[in-house]
Amino acid sequence: CLIVVHFMFIAAGAAQGSLELAVNTLLMQFFTIYSYFMDGFAYAGEALVGRSIGAGDREEYHNLIRRLFLWGGAVALVFVALYLFGGDHFMSVLTDDVQVLQRIGTYLPWTLLLPLCGMASFMWDGIYIGATAVREMLISGLCDDCQAEMFSIPEDDEPDDIDDDCGFDPYEGCFTYDC
């Protein structure tokens, strides 16, 4: 899924021109770094949930879910702080192109939503996989897609208005390419 998100994000930027492609590629680094940390929690959740279910320990299972979300929330808040206070500096390490940095500055506040909106999806992914709850995972994905469609902004028919639905979709907790 992560690779698909990367390719779709790059394709959305490429469709909008070289400046947007550069901006999207650099902003995607925030998602990549955050994903590595949160995937660690998802993997741990898989193993620990599987162990608690295998042992038939419902109390440990519920405590584990609470702890995963507490730790995941704490890590998400740390990343929000890092992006808020160090995002500009991090981007300036990656590029010295003034035009790219200025454009990134307009989108940088949106990156603060990334850890907050995406944390639960990583946690539930680990919990569902550890519990081998494939059916529930499928149903939650379908519910998520239905919510995203209900709250999506209709696209204009104007060809110059391509970026209305490209970018971060807080309802799906990921970057989308619906242009």
Q: How far is residue 121's CA from residue 70's CA, in Å, rounded to a whole number?
A: 14
**Lookup: tokens for 154:** 């209709």
Q: Please check whether residue 178 is in contact with residue 167, taking contact to mean a CB–CB distance below 8 angstroms.
A: no
Q: Decide: helix, strand or coil at residue 161.
A: coil
Task: Tell me whether strands 174-177 and 166-169 are parallel, antiparallel or unpaired.
Answer: antiparallel
Report residue 167's pLDDT band, with 50, 70 and 90 as the boundaries: very low
Residue 168 belongs to what H/E stretch? strand 166-169
Tens-digit pLDDT profile for residues 62-101: 999 999 999 999 999 999 999 999 999 999 999 999 999 9
Q: Please check whether residue 118 is in contact with residue 34, taking contact to mean a CB–CB distance below 8 angstroms.
A: yes
Tens-digit pLDDT profile for residues 103-128: 999 988 888 998 998 899 899 989 99
| Amino acid type, 100 | V
Tens-digit pLDDT profile for residues 30-39: 888 999 999 9
Q: How far is residue 28's CA from residue 97's CA, in Å, rounded to a whole number?
A: 17
